[in-house]
Amino acid sequence: MNPIPDREGFAGAFAGVSNGALLVAGGANIVGQRWANPIQKKWYASVFVLEEPEGKWSTGFELPHPLGYGISISSTHGLICVGGSDANRHFADVFELRWRKGVVQRVQLPSLPKACAQGCGALLGNVIYVAGGLETPTSEQAMRTFWALDLTAPAPTWEALEPWPGPERMLAVAGVQNGSFFLMSGTRLMKDSAGKLVREYLRDAYRYTPGQGWRRIADLPRAAVAAPTPAPVFGQSSLLIFTGDDGVNVDFSPIEKHPGFPQDVLCYDSSSDAWSNLGALPFSRVTAPAVLWRNRVVIPNGEVRPRVRTPEVWSMQQGNGQ
């Protein structure tokens, strides 16, 4: 597929489908010297629209303000953007982008109970589920929150549900399969012996079934932090996790020589509660959404390695990268 018309590309963009078109909105990248410390990150409000897989991206549309690192949900009508952040704060806002007659329309939805960025979520039936995240840019602990919004309710309101029976987390992967919501991997914030905030890379995973609650499922073979989410459905009973950060090279130095993230695909079979490895992709990606569009799984932009974004848009149809 044609790349997003931006030289650098974006991490943490929103993406989804409306009226047959693919929408990619917001996100952030690094301006100036990417290897300098501290880095200078910039958030964007741009919205890109693609009506045909091999077509040209339409530009000139914008969000009300720069926004990224929220949760992307494709509904019947459009792309629902949940939470997110800009350079200064995290947001509780929830809204839907709809593509109608050459115009991107914005419909306001009920706000989250709290501001939230770097969480994960998915749509199960008519209900949006949102798990974890980070409340503020300076938070020293991730959130252990689980919220639900029934889009078909007469007066939709976010409901706080019992969270999963495991540690708090951010940058996890969500998915839905066989009538259940799945929460997989992610990272929690911890302080090391010197009092510095560090990430603990998690491999645990959980399944939530409405009316039955949570249960722990098999651990991932490796961590897959910030992997494209929601996890695409595969076959009758499986979910796929593409690449993600396993944390093996978290302290790699010099950072400009970082080898990149894992390129393999993890497959979870909900019928057997077992993981398998489906082999390697021609790319690695973190902080990118995954979108089902015209029988393709689309992964727009994201990070290929620390501090390096890409304008590439990958799609996979029947297991083949295109």
Q: What is the CA radius of gyration of the chain?
A: 18
Does residue 103 carry a pLDDT above 50? yes
Nearest residue to 108 via CA among 91, 118, 121, 93: 93
> What does the pLDDT read at residue 317?
81
> What does the pLDDT read at residue 130?
98
Cα(195)–Cα(257) distance, integer angstroms: 27
Band of the pLDDT at 322, cuts 50, 70, 90?
Answer: very low
Does residue 146 carry a pLDDT above 80? yes
Q: Which domains does the chain have, with CATH numbers?
A: 14-321 (2.120.10.80)
Q: pTM value?
A: 0.96
> What does the pLDDT read at residue 78?
97
* Model confidence pLDDT, tens digit, residues 25-60: 999 999 989 999 999 999 999 999 999 999 999 999
Nearest residue to 284 via CA among 268, 269, 297, 299: 299
> What does the pLDDT read at residue 321?
40
Distance of CA 106 to CAs 45, 79, 145, 291, Å?
Answer: 13, 10, 27, 19
* Model confidence pLDDT, tens digit, residues 158-192: 999 999 999 999 999 999 999 999 999 999 999 99
* Model confidence pLDDT, tens digit, residues 64-78: 999 999 999 999 999
Average pLDDT of the residues in 17-30: 98
* Model confidence pLDDT, tens digit, residues 253-310: 999 999 999 999 999 999 999 999 999 999 999 999 999 999 999 999 999 999 999 9
Does residue 319 carry a pLDDT above 70? no
> What does the pLDDT read at residue 320?
41
* Model confidence pLDDT, tens digit, residues 225-254: 999 999 999 988 999 999 999 999 999 999
What SS3 state is found at 221?
A: coil
Q: String of b and e for 251-278 (b: at least 16 CB within 10 Å)?
A: eeeeeeebebbbebbbbbbbeeeebeee
Band of the pLDDT at 82, cuts 50, 70, 90?
Answer: very high
What SS3 state is found at 255?
A: helix
Average pLDDT of the residues in 132-143: 98
> What does the pLDDT read at residue 34?
93
